[in-house]
Amino acid sequence: MASAAELPKTELEIANETLVTEFCHDWSLRDVAALRPYLATDLLYQIAPGQPLIESRDEFDRRMGAQQFVG
């Protein structure tokens, strides 16, 4: 029996790996505009426990652009 590492990847697995790799790259750019295509307009995101919930893509732009990705 072949191990998972020996099996060829499906098109979906390749697409998923590509998406995650591109997202991680775009996150590292510290540019909210680069992240917009990944985000739903009605997203829910919390930077860290105890922090206020971000409840839209536009709010993500404002909050993350102002806090996380500046500098």
**Residue 64 located in a structural domain:** yes
Instruction: Give the three-state DSSP class for 1.
Output: coil
Q: How many domains is the chain built from?
A: 1
Q: Using the predicted structure, report yes or no on whether residue 36 has a pLDDT greater than 60.
A: yes
What value does the mean pLDDT take over residues 24-44?
93
- Whether 37 is in a domain gets the answer yes
Please check the confidence at residue 1 and state whether its pLDDT lies above 90: no
Q: How confident is the model at residue 35 (pLDDT cuts 50, 70, 90)?
A: very high
> Looking at the domain assignment, is residue 70 inside a domain?
yes
Parent domain of 57: 32-71
- Residue 47: inside a domain: yes
Query: 54 lies in a domain?
Result: yes
Q: Compute the distance between CA of residue 17 and CA of residue 46 in angstroms, rounded to an integer.
A: 24
The answer to whether residue 65 is domain-embedded is yes
What is residue 65's predicted lDDT score, i.e. its pLDDT? 82
Task: List, in sequence order, every residue forming a beta bridge with 53; answer none if it has no partner.
Answer: 46
